[in-house]
Amino acid sequence: MSKIPTYLKPTYRLTSISLMLLLIIGLLPTGAALARPMAPPDSNPARQEFGVEVVSSAADMVTGGDARLHVHVPWTVPLHQVEVWVNGADQSDHFEVLPGTRTLSGVIDGLNLGANVVEVRPNGQGKGRPAPVSLELTNYPITGPVFSGPQQHPFVCTAHRQGLDPLLVDNDQRGIPVRDASGNLLGYSQDCSVETRVDYRYRSTSGSWNPYTPGSERPADMAQTTTLEGLTVDYIVRWERGTINRFIYSIAMLAPFDTGPDDLDTAAWNGRAIYHFQGGVGIGHSQGNPSTSTMLYEYGLSKGYAILYSTGNRTGVHYNLALGGETALMVKERFVELYDVPLYTVGLGGSGGAIQQYVYAQNHPGLLDAAIPQYSYPDMVTQAIHVGDCELLEFYMDVLDASNPRWATWSNRTLLEGMNASDTLRNPYTGGRPGLSECVNGWRGLSPLALNPLYGSAPNQGEYVPQSDIAAIEWSHFGDIVNVVGVAEDGYARSYWDNVGVQYGLESLAAGLITPDEFLKLNAMVGGWKNEPNMIQEGCPFFPPGCTDLSRWDPWSARNQVFSLNPLVAPAARTQGDLAAMHALYTSGLVFHGEIDIPVIDWRHYLEDELDMHNSHQSFASRQRIRDYQGNSDNQVIWFTDVVNVPQFDQTPEALAVIDEWMLNLLANPDLGVAGNKPARAIDRCFDVNGNEIAAGEGVWDGILDSNPPGACTQQFRIYSTSRIVAGAPIRGGVFKCQLMPVMEAVSRGLYGAWTPSPLQIGMLSAIFPQGVCDYSLPDAGLPPGW
């Protein structure tokens, strides 16, 4: 895992701004003046020596040539006699006293790439003066990388299509051409950098964002807003955008007092920050297109939150969460350099935006102080395990075993896939006839996107020069994370996907829901995926996009599968994953294993009946991982809200309010820890379509992770599973490669329920599974040695 900045490690100390905010809301007696947000001034007020720390990043992970420092000054030194020297140059005038403290805060700049030395010393020789203190900083370019490894090339720029032009020229050979106003070629941009831009927007009474020029007459339709502190102000926002780590970043904050872009207006800031993450499934090689509604998250801004964002934290752009974590650290570094350390930072975002919160909170403690993952999964890499089964099983039921009347009833597909299916919802891949599954509705098209190195694209790629670079891209999820998984002997990124020994439909067989003959036929025919060198370009409807040529109709990507048409003679081979890739996923932190000790409200709309891809059991998979790691999941609460078409009730404002109570409690009572500071509403809950509480409290989700009778919320919301859970895997998921046991051992353990295979059937099982079948009572075979 990456190194953790010391300033980012959770402390939950009662800071000066914490005290001020608590005074405002009436939890402490009055007597302190409100100051702008700041970091903990000094945990050792009686210190005899200088204390100096980088608060915007780790000292060895500074980026962009500048860094915010806090200098804690002993009582023996007058504050005006402190000198701060950077590489031999005096930058003392960059610092000011944090009100009510003996801490100086300031941003040093002009840092060299690589090593830099900061020295703090008194400028006098008075009695008891402390010795100078030195600190070494390591600075990286603002374009990155820091720890994520070699950057992707080609990398397609989009900033110039987002009103952030011109791109900055960085070479004369390849990238996006940069031209002057007359069309003359100036050079090319590979890093996609632009100058930082500050705009102002006001919120109109009709609900739109409109341009505003500081100092101009305020429009008649300008709305007002009231912050968490009860401050009512004109609804004007300072909106900074630019490029960090090659991605487009955004920092937005209320700025109602017309001070202009260089004089930061923090009077309406509530001291808190939201880092807004986004979802989707992308495979890189693009700067990405930002979402204005997310950059300018209206509810958060209206309450005085600062909103942090980057296209590098949109999983629809890429799914390299080592790179994403690095980007989030760099964007927060920029924010702290502008405004100092916030009271707390809460993560927000759904789907891939929820995954990022779980993974980054684990890998970079303190980047987020709290999290609101929505429509969550524990991580991406372990979701790919069962998602990769979808088209294999769909092709089996649609084509290989199409004569079996069982599969004509679509709801029976749950018997193999675990996820929900419907006999009434219409299927666009069958001409709109009734019958649909989550595998089709939620996941179709993602298997080729993740697995096929020939299928994929990047927005705006047609502008890139030379196009031969685009043609050479390995368009796969594994190629996107090649810095993590490494390169195999065949020249492609190592793949971790494996289904050796997986007995599809095992639980349904044991329950008597499918027959032994159906079970044997399925597992003999279904096979797996081809290796990348043997894959071909996708057919219709994927390539060309939207094509309907029935001679090339292949919505299952079957041409890239390995299956058997003669299972009695030659059962299909399964796909063997690369152990080195699996090991790397664990050691890199791309697997969420449950190491998270911050307040978490995991909230989702219940979308099972819509066959939405955000299946509800995933919240409990995360909970089980947290329990497995730390012995309990007291820091995580799970909320479901029911839906009936649209509009759907948004529980996010309530979640933010509960997180705020929780965090203020933590700041006031750090010794009680996360669990000991839960407010009354920080409990498991479920809600109706209007956001009204159905049930709450301990036990409402019983019957999912335990054998207790179903709780009140469990009864209200049916939980489905996955193809691997149906095959016997645990609900926590995350088994890349199962350990194997002989077929006869599986028989003796009673894995097949009431079915006792005959000698002939045992011979068939042994032919289908020559290496043995999965033993899910044992740990993942993909775990690194000694893990």
- Report pLDDT digits (tens) over 567-615: 988 999 999 999 999 999 999 999 999 999 999 999 999 999 999 999 9
> Is 298 in the same domain as 393?
no
Spatial distance between the Cα atoms of 63 and 141, rounded to a whole number of angstroms: 6
Query: 669-704 pLDDT, tens per residue?
Result: 999 999 999 999 999 999 999 999 999 999 999 999
Q: Across all residues in the chain, what is the average pLDDT?
A: 93
CA distance 303 to 298: 9
Task: Give a yes or no: residue 625 inside a domain.
Answer: no
Domain end: 309, 342, 375, which one? 342
What digits encode the pLDDT tens for the residues 8-58?
Answer: 333 333 333 443 444 334 443 322 223 344 446 676 767 789 999 999 999
Distance, CA of 649 to CA of 629 (rounded, Å) = 33
Tokens representing residue 339 in the block: 């405004």
Q: How many Å apart are CA 413 and CA 430, to the nearest integer?
A: 16
Are 176 and 316 in the same domain? Answer: yes
- Look at residue 3 and tell me whether its pLDDT is greater than 60: no
| Positive/negative CA dihedral, 663, 664, 669, 675 | negative
- pLDDT > 90 fraction of the chain, expressed in percent and rounded: 91
Task: Let me know whether 181 and 319 are in one domain.
Answer: yes
pLDDT of 41: 62
Same domain, 332 and 414: no
Residue identified by tokens 């006839």 is: 433
Summarize pLDDT for 185-201 with one digit per residue, the tens.
999 999 999 999 999 99
Q: Is residue 787 part of a domain?
A: no
Pair 743, 773: CB distance under 8 Å: yes
Q: Based on the fold, state whether residues 71 and 196 are members of the same structural domain.
A: no
Q: What is the pTM of this model?
A: 0.94
Do residue 435 and residue 574 come from a single domain?
yes
Which pLDDT band, with edges at 50, 70 and 90, does 262 fall under? confident
Q: 394 and 328, same structural domain?
A: no
Of residues 91, 42, 46, the one with CA closest to residue 71: 42
Tell me: do 186 and 119 sit in the same domain. no
- Taking CA atoms, 753 is separated from 508, 522, 703, 756, 778, in Å, by 10, 18, 22, 8, 20
Q: Which residues contact residue 672 at a Cβ distance below 8 angstroms, ignoring those fewer than 6 apart?
A: 665, 666
Q: What is the C-alpha to C-alpha distance for residues 316 and 444, in angstroms, rounded to an integer?
A: 16
* Within-domain flag for 358: no
Query: What is the average pLDDT across 62-77?
Result: 96
Residue 369 in any domain: the answer is no
Strand partners, 133: 120
User: Contact at 8 Å (CB) between 227 and 34?
Assistant: no
Residues 274 and 320 in one domain: yes
Is 618 inside any structural domain?
no
Res 742: pLDDT? 98
- Count of other CB atoms within 10 angstroms of residue 177: 15
Residue 23 sits in a domain whose CATH number is 2.60.40.10
Same-domain check for residues 521 and 564: yes
Q: Give domain status of residue 754, yes or no.
A: yes
* Residue that is written with structure tokens 């020029």 in the block: 213
- Flag whether 232 is in a domain: yes
Q: What pLDDT score was predicted for residue 645?
A: 76
**For 721-749, what is the mean pLDDT?**
97
For residue 712, being part of any structural domain is answered with: no
Q: What is the pLDDT of residue 40?
A: 60
Number of domains in the chain: 3
DSSP H or E segment with residue 739: none
Task: Quote the domain boundaries for residue 171.
Answer: 159-342
- pLDDT for the residue 13: 35
Count CB-CB contacts under 10 A for residue 72. Answer: 22
Residues 69 and 28 occupy one common structural domain: yes
Asked if residue 389 and residue 337 are part of one domain, the reply reads: no
Going by pLDDT thresholds of 50, 70 and 90, the confidence category of residue 263 is confident
Residue 710: asked if its preceding bond is cis (omega within 30°), the reply is no
SS3 169: coil
Max alpha carbon distance in the chain (Å)?
95
Beta carbons within 8 Å of 713's beta carbon, 6+ residues apart: 640, 684, 685, 686, 694, 695, 700, 701
Q: Residue 170 and residue 120: Cα distance in Å, rounded?
A: 36
Residue 332, helix vs strand vs coil: helix
Q: What is the pLDDT of residues 445-487, one digit of tens each?
A: 999 999 999 999 999 999 999 999 999 999 999 999 999 999 9
Bridge-based pairing of strands 272-276 and 306-310 is: parallel
Radius of gyration of the chain from its Cα atoms, rounded to whole angstroms = 28
Q: Residue 273: what are its φ and ψ, rounded to 5°?
A: -130, 145
| Consecutive H or E run containing 363 | helix 352-363
Q: Which tokens belong to 641? A: 């809200």
